């Protein structure tokens, strides 16, 4: 991490805060810092990503890093970050308090749960620079459908918060003054669950394949201590006590 990408851990919760200037524009070092922050959070149950300031959640990646001399390094770092997000064990919650553009929009696509304030809008302006948003091209059609993905990527137009909600880009839209509390409540709810169950659910959803989803349940969750504890606690009418331990012996504590 660095001074522009803050990371802190509180028990089984990690917080990542973008504080990279007024618009939170990310450089290559910041992208790598985000990757490191996600990796450092692997033993957590939930990671929240928020932004300091009110002008932008994140206005994307430095335009200067898109020039031919720097673009290969930037794209390699961006891909590594995306893969870290998609393979991470904790649930990743992204809360946008202000506009999310380009790579900032793509950060929300990489999150498992996204929410925003009413003052947020989303856009993918890369086409205007004869560039493309690689993560959006890969993930957006599945999230909102092919036609809407073409609309967002090929026009670069602004998508307001209510449209983002209707399209399924975010799960909830709240007033700006309610965003922090809503994010905390969501994270608190997730912290009440087994880290093993959260990981297995994430893998099953991300895999997008029934046989692999069944594998995540049958071979990872069912043999775990938490897999047995959840059912036993329900039948015994008591609160579960999670071990947060995988059947292969990886300890999440």
Whether residue 249 has pLDDT greater than 80: no
The pLDDT score that the predictor gives to residue 67 is: 85
Percent of the chain residues topping a pLDDT of 90: 70
User: Is 73 assigned a catalytic role?
Assistant: no
The pLDDT score that the predictor gives to residue 210 is: 57
pLDDT tens-place string over residues 211-242? 665 666 677 777 888 878 887 888 899 999 99
pLDDT tens-place string over residues 114-159? 999 999 999 999 999 888 899 999 999 999 999 999 999 999 999 9
**CATH of region 194-253:** 1.10.12.10
What mean pLDDT comes out for the span 246-253?
50
The pLDDT score that the predictor gives to residue 153 is: 95
Q: Which of 171, 167, 141, 169 is nearest to 154 (CA)?
A: 141
Rounded to the nearest integer, the mean pLDDT of the chain is 90
Question: Which of 50, 62, 106, 220 does the annotation list as catalytic?
Answer: 106
What mean pLDDT comes out for the span 84-89?
94
Whether residue 253 has pLDDT greater than 60: no
Question: Which of 126, 177, 178, 220 does the annotation list as catalytic?
Answer: 126
Q: Where are the domains of the chain?
A: 5-191, 194-253
User: Is 126 assigned a catalytic role?
Assistant: yes
- pLDDT class of 113 with cuts at 50, 70, 90: very high
The pLDDT score that the predictor gives to residue 230 is: 83
Architecture of the domain spanning 5-191 = Alpha-Beta Complex (3.90)
Whether residue 111 has pLDDT greater than 50: yes
- In terms of pLDDT, which residue wins out, 167 or 221? 167
What mean pLDDT comes out for the span 83-92?
95
The pLDDT score that the predictor gives to residue 102 is: 96
Whether residue 176 has pLDDT greater than 80: yes
- In terms of pLDDT, which residue wins out, 91 or 211? 91
């Amino acid at each position: 991490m660095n001074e522009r990408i803050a990371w802190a851990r509180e028990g089984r919760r990690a917080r990542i805060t973008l504080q990279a200037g007024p618009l939170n524009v990310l450089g290559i070092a910041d992208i790598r810092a985000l990757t490191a922050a996600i990796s450092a959070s692997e033993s957590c149950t939930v990671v929240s990503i928020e932004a300091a300031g009110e002008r932008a959640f994140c206005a994307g990646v430095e335009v200067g890093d898109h020039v031919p001399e720097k673009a290969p390094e930037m794209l390699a770092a961006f891909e590594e970050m995306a893969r870290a997000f998609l393979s991470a064990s904790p649930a990743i919650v992204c809360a946008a308090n202000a506009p999310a553009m380009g790579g900032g929009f793509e950060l929300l696509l990489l999150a498992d749960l996204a929410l925003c304030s009413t003052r947020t809008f989303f856009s993918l302006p890369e086409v205007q620079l004869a560039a493309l948003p690689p993560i959006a091209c890969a993930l957006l059609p599945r999230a909102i459908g092919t036609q809407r993905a073409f609309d967002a990527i090929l026009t670069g137009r602004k998508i307001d918060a209510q449209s983002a909600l209707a399209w399924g880009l975010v799960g909830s839209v709240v007033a700006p003054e309610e965003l922090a509390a809503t994010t905390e409540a969501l994270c608190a709810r997730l912290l009440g669950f087994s880290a093993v169950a959260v990981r297995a659910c994430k893998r099953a959803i991300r895999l997008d394949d029934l046989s692999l989803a069944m594998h995540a349940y049958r071979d990872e969750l069912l043999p775990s201590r938490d897999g047995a504890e959840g059912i036993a606690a329900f039948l015994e009418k008591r609160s579960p006590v999670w071990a947060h331990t995988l059947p292969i012996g990886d300890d999440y504590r």
